[in-house]
Structure 1
Amino acid sequence: MLFGILWSYIKIIWEKRSSRSSSELNADRKWDTTIYQIFISLGPLIFCFSVGAMMGFSGIFLPQLEAGKGQMKTNGDVQSWIASSAVLSMTFFSLFGGFLMEEVGRRSAHIIPAIPGIAGWLTIYFARNISTILIGRILTGISCGLFAPITSAYIGEITSPSLRPFILGCITLSVTSGTLLCHLVGTFYSWRTTAIFCAIFPTIGGILTFFSEETPTWLFRKDRIEDACAAFSRIRGQSEETEKELEVMLEKHKNGGFRSKPLAEITQDLIAKPELFKPLLVVVLYFVSAQFAGINVVTFYAIDVVKLSLGAKFEKSHVTMLGMDFIRVVTSVIACILLKNLKRRHLVVGGGVGCMGCLLTLSFSNFLSRVTENTLLSVYAPLTALLAYVFFISISLVPLPWCLAGELLPQELKGLASSLLCFFSFTAFFIAVKCAPFLFEFLGAGLTYLVFCGSVLFGTTLCWFFLPETKNKTLEEISDTYSER
């Protein structure tokens, strides 16, 4: 239905072109290509809802088990495995995602993960014991791991420089929306109903991806020159700017820039060429710092984090969880706009400083709550800081790494670089989620928040010194930033 509405709209605009002036016609063409780029991005973005749902499911599933609604017995260690098992499988299968996108193409590689995704949610729905729940979680993790390296690469290659940061920012918007919807359904319905609801995301994502385009970059890599030029014209339209960009790509192909290389040669290039390993290293380290900043810990253990921050007697934990989800979604929309209009360093520093201030407030409030029962210090201050923390981290450390992955990763090694990035990032993701309960238990909430603060400080400092400005630059221009040219 959505496809039919969008396609009809595009056809109506196309038919009206003949009666327009040349300036109006150019404006219409630009608008048409913008709509088309958004449309072919919808399938991959709907898949990202699955990631948010996978992350948010344990936040509603574990409290329902503890309340006796699941008729299954668990302990703390089993609960941490329920939360982190999906991340573990996502980590290892992200290595195959890069290989898949190079072999079958960016578009087709988005369709394949729908199968384990649907199977995983159905397995959870029909589960009668913890072992089956874990199998379902692992299958959903496999699905997310396979397409995670592909999405930012795909969007980065099909969108124009002016639109690219906005659509890349929508990756985070989709993930946070998936988490919100999962938590919202799980608050009012059982976890089984939530599981069957979440199966909708990989289903719709797979269907919409059938109507998307293969990227010109991959077609050039496979020596399908005519198909690549035709796809580029359909996706980006025709103008002086796009013609020059296509000429650069044709020249790059002529010089062997899109040539597929054996793994040994790729590895050697990655080690020897600064323009290849430097951007990958910056993005990997920024991703890792984002994971240890605690945002996914808050997502996976939402109810527990609220109780640890505000006290076990706090009676509105579910409302606070939904409030944090809502803030994430709204902030993700704001981040999409800011990524399009502001320089990257401004977002890095502004969001990083805000996060550190909130985490310090949470830490000190936790220490002070032990020696005083003042409501302002024990409830209102940490509640405000927790909500503000979600806001600031959703402005910076959540959307920026995905945006930078689509912009900075070297074109020559997109598959390998994307897989390595996701592998290291998801490894940090798994460690953070698996170890968070033990950190809160042995260090206490106050010291754990200081650990998160140190990670934010590291990521902010790293990007201030080593992050190049990518706003409104083509992928080729960004690539040249790290080379001696």
Structure 2
Amino acid sequence: MPNVLQVNYPDPGFWTETSLIQLGYGVWVNLSMVTIGLAFGFSAVALPQLSLPESLIKVTIADESWIASVISLASPVGCVLCGYLLDKFGRRTMIIYSQLPVCFGWLYTGTASSAKQLILGRIITGVGIGMVMCVPRVYMTEVSLPNMRGVIGSFPNIAMSLGLTTQAALGSMFRWTTLCYVGSAYTMTLFLMNFCLPETPYYLLQKTSIEDAQASLKKFRSKKYNIEAEMDELIDFKNENDIHK
């Protein structure tokens, strides 16, 4: 018979302290995904403003196409890069520092004086967005119990939709340059907030010690939850999947 992963630790139930703690971290971590919606919604509100006769930056039809699409071309670069850095530096570290290229991209776009600079700013933002895409899903998969993964797995899509809606609402009231500064301020806020996040237990188990992993796991579970069975599962999983052996 094929090997089947058996979960020996108990399901705490949905409306329990342990599950609510995971929900809280799920919302927190996926605030980063709002930046993706803001970035993808930007062109829809900025291009009509750039096409106005009084716009200081003159854009052609080709420029408009690049401004709208280049973020999708650049984001795979960030995805691949972050996929490598996740295992090298950790999930928490990448959640923090993936915000920096997005922040810089927003600032550069907001201060642009030509169509080429706008496109370059969008490229920088796109690379950062690609990095942001990877981390929350990995982080929450490693810290959540099986009974919560379905619910928390829906958070990234909700966050991106929230970002798109927010960008559309702001675009009806503010100039595109102001939207850039709002996006930059939001990512900088996340950059500072995410320093308070703990590292995932499984990464610490791989890189440091069992004691560090236990201390981390306790932060994602309630005080009444017995983490011993879950730690045993993590240790067994690590030993069975150690590719360095």
TM-score band w.r.t. shorter chain: 0.7 to 0.9
CA contact (8 A) 1:43 1:205 kept: no
Offset of 1:165 from its aligned partner? Answer: 1.8
- Where in structure 2 are there 5+ consecutive unaligned residues? 1-11
Identity %: 25
**Which letter does structure 1 place at the counterpart of 2:119?**
L
- Listed one character per residue, the Cα deviations across residues 259-298 of structure 1 (whole Å, up to 9, x for unaligned) are 2549xxxxxxxxxxxxxxxxxxxxxxxxxxxxxxxxxxxx
CA contact (8 A) 2:201 2:216 kept: yes
Q: Report the equivalent of 1:123.
A: 108
- Where in structure 1 are there 5+ consecutive unaligned residues? 1-26, 263-485
Q: Report the equivalent of 2:92.
A: 107
Provide the secondary structure at the position in 2 that maps to 1:72.
coil
CA distance in 2 between counterparts of 1:217 and 1:252 reads 9
Q: Report the equivalent of 2:6.
A: none
CA contact (8 A) 2:205 2:213 kept: yes
Q: Report the equivalent of 1:37.
A: 22
- Listed one character per residue, the Cα deviations across residues 179-237 of structure 1 (whole Å, up to 9, x for unaligned) are 11111111121111111111233122222211112111111221521111221232134
CA distance in 2 between counterparts of 1:44 and 1:143 reads 16
**Which letter does structure 2 place at the counterpart of 1:147?**
V
Q: Report the equivalent of 2:184.
A: 199
CA contact (8 A) 1:40 1:213 kept: no
Offset of 1:113 from its aligned partner? Answer: 1.6
- Listed one character per residue, the Cα deviations across residues 368-418 of structure 1 (whole Å, up to 9, x for unaligned) are xxxxxxxxxxxxxxxxxxxxxxxxxxxxxxxxxxxxxxxxxxxxxxxxxxx
- The answer to whether residue 63 in structure 2 is matched with residue 78 in structure 1 is yes
Provide the secondary structure at the position in 1 that maps to 2:198.
coil
Offset of 1:39 from its aligned partner? Answer: 3.3
**Which letter does structure 1 place at the counterpart of 2:37?**
G
CA distance in 2 between counterparts of 1:261 and 1:144 reads 31
Larger helix percent:
1
**Which letter does structure 2 place at the counterpart of 1:143?**
G
CA distance in 1 between counterparts of 2:85 and 2:128 reads 13
Offset of 1:53 from its aligned partner? Answer: 0.6
RMSD value, Cα: 2.4
Q: Report the equivalent of 2:9.
A: none
Q: Report the equivalent of 2:216.
A: 231
Give structure 1 regions of 4+ aligned residues with deviation exceeding 4 angstroms: none
CA distance in 1 between counterparts of 2:243 and 2:177 reads 45
**Which letter does structure 2 place at the counterpart of 1:222?**
K
- The answer to whether residue 119 in structure 2 is matched with residue 134 in structure 1 is yes
Residues paired across the two proteins, number: 234
TM-score norm. by structure 1 comes to: 0.45
Provide the secondary structure at the position in 1 that maps to 2:154.
helix
Q: Say which of 102, 122, 134 aligns to 1:149.
A: 134
Q: Say which of 28, 32, 43 aligns to 1:58.
A: 43
CA distance in 1 between counterparts of 2:165 and 2:17 reads 31
Provide the secondary structure at the position in 2 that maps to 1:44.
helix
Provide the secondary structure at the position in 2 that maps to 1:213.
coil
**Which letter does structure 1 place at the counterpart of 2:88?**
E
**Which letter does structure 2 place at the counterpart of 1:233?**
K
CA distance in 2 between counterparts of 1:141 and 1:106 reads 20
**Which letter does structure 2 place at the counterpart of 1:227?**
D
Offset of 1:137 from its aligned partner? Answer: 0.8
**Distance change (3 Å), C-alpha of 1:159 and 1:68:** farther
Q: Report the equivalent of 1:310.
A: none
**Distance change (3 Å), C-alpha of 1:59 and 1:83:** same
CA distance in 2 between counterparts of 1:260 and 1:251 reads 14
CA contact (8 A) 2:201 2:214 kept: yes
TM-score norm. by structure 2 comes to: 0.86
CA contact (8 A) 1:87 1:141 kept: yes
